[in-house]
Structure formats: structure tokens, C-alpha cells
Chains A and B, each alone.
Chain A
């Protein structure tokens, strides 16, 4: 009886989050997939059901017109999509460049200092991200803090146009996503055995060599995890470009919003969302798959070597 309860308990622990994921992640995803294959109409909700039964007969509204539309007007979508990927890519890169030394510093601090620094890293998460972005606007505005100071000390005599540029978008993205880069990097770095660095130094490695041959390769998992955590939400980011970007900075998140709420064309919006997911996840899944194959190949090679 006790053993049964223990096994049952273990199941429950897994079933609860699985149910949660199925309810709030999988079902909306399935719904979005369905909507992407049906047609829009003036009703609530504003689309025809994908399939159903009417007078005892099965019917379906399945069609590929939404996707066809996306491909027909691809220029309208490709631009914003490329723009989003570009902005997200460079935002990720800047986050990585800032986060790497910061995470290293935290990981190499004393245990007490580490706790304090980690709390400081996460502290901004406790204020609303909107609030933080408005604060940033206050800094970057033509009559904002930075311009005022620079003009007051006489370095410039006209405000620098920092708002509604790529610069302001990167600032917003880095502000929003930096902790998501620091934390996974920190997690891999804190596990890095300090003996390895001393061993490399003992064997004649210069500081640069030690970084390139030992530290960097061993922190790759953190780099990948952090980059994914920043890149994926950054591509679909809607708030940052809406608040900080210019009217010409059309990002895919904004296009999605327009299709959903302004055009009320849910099927087209849904198919666009599906395409976006495909574009983002397929390369990641492929990379993971390749990784697995590499491990297998290595195992094979080992078999040859020892025989």
C-alpha cells in the first residue's frame, strides 16, 4: 500500500504540471493551428469553425487560403519578420556581451556576495516592465535626462534623437532581457571547477588561452540557453518597439497585433503566428537533433578506438 502511494505520489507530481501545460499551452496552440486553416467572418469569435456537424452531416471549412495570402503578400510580412530577427539577434548579442563578464564576476564572488548580486540582477523583475520602459523614455527623450545633462554641461547644443531609433529599441530589449541572459550563464559558470583554470595556468596557458580553450567551451551550454531565452521572446516583442520604436520600425509582433485587433482577421494572424513558430523552432530542434547525433557518432568512434 505504501509503495503504491509512493508511486501514485510521484505520478501526481508529474501529472499536475503536465495538465497545466496541456490546458494552457497545448490547447491554445491547437486552437491557433485550427484557426489558421479556417476563414474569417463577422461573428463572435470572428472566424468560421474549422469543422463540425450540421443536421447530422460533417462539414469542414479547411482551406489554405490564409497561408496562400501570406505567400502572395510575402513582401509585407518578410520585411517586418527580417526586421524582428535582426533586432532580436543584435539585442541578444549585446545582452551576451554585457551578461558574460557580469555573470563571470558574480560566479567568482564569495558565496555571500553572490546572493546579494543575484538579488540585484533579479530586482528589476519585481517592478513592472512597462514602468521600466517609461523610465527609459524619460532618459532618452529629446528633453529627457541624458539630453538635458549633455546640453547643460555644453557638450551638445541640440538634443540627440535617441528615441524612436534602433538604439532605443536595443536599450529597451537589453533592459528587459538582460537578467534572462545572466542567470543561465551564471548557472554554468558557478559550476565551473576553479581547479580547471588553475590546471590550465599550470600547463602554461596564458589568460587568453585559458579563456578560449577552457572557459568559453565549458560555458557554451549557458550561452545557448541564455541566447534562446532572450532571442525567442525578443523576436515576437511587441511592447518595446511600440513604446520606443519609430513608426517605420515595423516588427512582426506589431504586424500580428494589427492583423488580430485592427483587421480582426484572426485566421491570417493565426497562420502568421504558426509560420513564426515554425521559423523559430525548426532550427532549434534541428540543432538539438544534430547534437544528439554527434554524441552517438562519438560513442561509435570510441568503440573503434578501443577495439
Chain B
């Protein structure tokens, strides 16, 4: 069966910018898909092409098996929630929500009942006759969501849906959004620049950079097995080591370079198997690097000096340096830090499991 949404070699050029570059992507029905990227990476342009506000320069967009090339925004089974919410300021909450339904010919008791149920869905009870300017930011966001859901679109596009809310409210709303999506089963595509938001919301995340998708995967895979250093750096941080493969010992790879490292390649999750003599880039996540006061004799161990400690509450971030200048970024939880009370300028040892080393493709 063909996927619900299929983008094939979609390119969009504006006068002097190449916003989306030969991008292909399949999205299944019922997914909550996040397009994650820095501003200007082309994610909003991609969303606007799905909504029908922009026409691709080349390539093909299919929704539910239907080519969208000649379908106007009004006729697509797609609705959009705008970053600015775009609520009609001269209409009440109820009229805003009813706008799309009226255009579809719904009226009378049926219309009232539908608007009522939408107001209940987004928990705006009692606010039906308010105008948008008399609502809080969170309430406006709900009106925008209800209005976009009113026509029961097969696909809902959300452009930075939570960006205008303050941090606390944003966290609560993230879970609500997921609840609503699960309740309705509508396919959601969310554009965001906030990695935490993408991780919380998405079933799959597509990381975009300069008009291209760098990697599309579930949040966990993206974090634990990033494809390249861009993705590894964009989602969280990592210590990068470049070197040459000097020995292959079954599933274990010996890499010599900035820091001699043993890598365990898991045939299930690692996509590439470099040859002897190849130059490779490795990444290690900060929480996978262990810090000890004394030498433990484990694999991948180095002696380091503590350069910097940043206390974050739940954990502390460390920057430690090998004597050849290689900087490790590592994280210690509160408990770990108390067990190994190393302070600035003190000597210690770091080691990491060969299985925790990520083989990058670049």
C-alpha cells in the first residue's frame, strides 16, 4: 500500500534561495511527524507546500494517493494551524471555529453541536462568545487548534504550534496535543525548531538542514544512533573523535587517531562497516562517558584534567581534557557526582563502553 503522504524529489526555489532541495519523504497515516531544524532550513516552506500555499518548483506531492499539483488549499484534505494562530479578530471563538464548517455548508443545530464538541475537546468551555483579544495565549492556541481540526482534515499541519507559549505552559500543552492526536487519529505534521518539543511530540522526527533531510527516525534512534555529526550535534551534544581503522577484530574495530578507541559495531543498529585503513568519525554521548578518580583498567580509558563543571540541578556537565588536548564532554547525575567528588583542575580517568561509541557516516 502506498504511504499516506509521499513527497518525491520535491524542490522549491525562491528568487535567490533554494529553500527545499530534492527532498523525498513518506509519512504513514496516524503518525505525529516532526520536522525539526534551525530557522531558514526549509521546514516551513515544506509545510506550506503541503498546505498548498506554495507550489513546488519540481517534484511531486501526494496525499492519500492523490497528486496535489492542481489542488487549491481550500480543496485539500489538509488544514493548517498557523504560528501566529491567525485567528479572525472580529469573530468570536465559536465563529472562528465554525468558519470552515460554514464554508463546507454545515448549519443550524448540526453546526452548533459540532462547534460545541470542538470547544469541549480543546477545553474552552464558557469562552465561546469571546473575541480572540480577550483570550490568553494558551487559549488562543486552543482556538487555533480547534478551528484547524473542525473540518476533520486527514492531515493537520502545525507550524511552531507552541512557540508563542511560555515554557511551563508549553510543556503541559505538548502532552495535550499528543492526547488529542491519539484520540482523533489524525496525521499531524509539526514544524519546530525546539528539539525537546520534537522529542516529546513525535513518533518520528525528520531533521532538516539547508533544504535537505539529514535523517528521519524515531526520537530514540536519532539520539542513540545519529547518522552524522550534524544530527549528533543538533540533538544533544557529543564528543567527536576522528581516526583511522587499524584493526578489525570480529565486531570490534580499533580506531587510532586523536585517541585510540575500540568500537563495538552492532550488526542490528549500525548501518556502516568501514574497511581497514578508512578514516572514520566517532561520537560518544556525554552520559555514556564514565568518570572515576582512579584507573579502572577498562577499555577506552584516558587520564584527564577537569576543565569545567556546570551544575544543572538534575545533573552536572563536565568538560575534561586529555593531555594531548582532546576535550571530552560528559554528564554526571547528582548521585554519580557525589560518589566521585572531583573538582576543577583535579586529575581523573574517563572510560566508555565500545558499544556506546557511535559510528558516524561522515
Which residues of chain A have a CB within 8 Å of any CB of chain B? Answer: 193, 195-196, 198-206, 209, 213-214, 217-218, 298, 301-302, 305-306
Contacts and interface: CB of A to CB of B under 8 A. Distances in A.
B90 A217 contact: yes
Given A198-B51, A202-B78, A305-B129, 12 more contacts: A195-B84, A198-B80, A199-B82, A201-B74, A202-B51, A203-B99, A204-B74, A204-B104, A302-B129, A302-B134, A305-B127, A306-B130
Contacts of A193: 84, 86
A203 B129 contact: no
A198 B159 CA distance: 13
B89 A218 contact: yes
B247 to A, nearest CB: 59
B103 interface: yes
Contact of B86 (A195, A205, A217, A298): A195
B88 A196 contact: yes
Nearest to A301: B129
Nearest to B51: A202
Interface of B: 51-53, 72-75, 78-80, 82, 84, 86, 88-90, 99-100, 103-104, 126-131, 134, 147-148, 150-151
Contacts of A298: 131
Contacts of B131: 298
A206 B89 contact: no
25 contacts: A198-B73, A198-B80, A198-B82, A200-B99, A201-B53, A202-B53, A202-B79, A202-B148, A203-B99, A203-B103, A204-B74, A204-B75, A204-B100, A205-B74, A205-B99, A206-B74, A206-B103, A213-B99, A218-B90, A298-B131, A302-B129, A302-B134, A305-B127, A305-B129, A306-B126
Given A201-B73, A204-B104, A204-B151, A302 B86 contact: no
Given A302-B129, A305-B130, A198 B86 contact: yes
Kindly list the 10 A-B residue pairs having the minimum CB-CB distance in the complex, ordered from nearest: A203-B100, A204-B103, A195-B86, A199-B86, A305-B129, A204-B74, A306-B126, A201-B73, A195-B82, A217-B90
A202 B74 contact: yes
A213 B128 CA distance: 19
Contacts of B53: 198, 201-202
Nearest to B130: A302
B68 to A, nearest CB: 14
A198 B148 CA distance: 12
A136 to B, nearest CB: 39
A193 B147 CA distance: 17
A196 B147 CA distance: 13
Contact of B127 (A202, A217, A306): A306
Nearest to B128: A305
Contacts of B78: 202
Nearest to B93: A305
B84 A203 contact: no
B78 to A, nearest CB: 8
Nearest to A207: B74
A204 B74 CA distance: 4
B25 to A, nearest CB: 21
B90 A203 contact: no
Contacts of B103: 203-206, 209
Contacts of A202: 51-53, 73-74, 78-80, 148
Contacts of B104: 204
A250 B144 CA distance: 56
A216 to B, nearest CB: 10
Given A196-B88, A202-B51, A305 B126 contact: yes
Contacts of A205: 74, 99, 103
Nearest to A298: B131
A111 B57 CA distance: 25
B188 to A, nearest CB: 15
A202 B100 CA distance: 8
Nearest to B98: A203
Nearest to A205: B103
A129 to B, nearest CB: 37
Contacts of A198: 51, 53, 73, 80, 82, 86
Contact of A203 (B127, B128, B147): B147
A48 to B, nearest CB: 55
A195 B51 CA distance: 13
A123 to B, nearest CB: 29
Instruction: Output the residue of A203, A205, A206 with the most chain B CB within 10 A.
Output: A203
A230 B73 CA distance: 39
Contacts of A302: 129-130, 134
A99 B88 CA distance: 24
Nearest to A304: B129
A167 B127 CA distance: 53
Contacts of A306: 126-127, 130
Task: Output the residue of B72, B74, B82 with the most chain A CB within 10 A.
Answer: B74
A206 B103 CA distance: 9
B84 to A, nearest CB: 5
A74 to B, nearest CB: 42
A298 B130 CA distance: 9
A201 B100 CA distance: 9
A177 to B, nearest CB: 28
Contacts of B151: 203-204
A193 B82 CA distance: 12
Contacts of B148: 202
A200 B86 CA distance: 9
Contacts of B51: 198, 202
Given A198-B82, A203-B99, A214 B73 contact: no
A214 B199 CA distance: 37
Contacts of B89: 218
Contacts of A203: 74, 79, 99-100, 103, 147, 150-151
A143 to B, nearest CB: 51
A299 to B, nearest CB: 9
Contacts of A218: 89-90
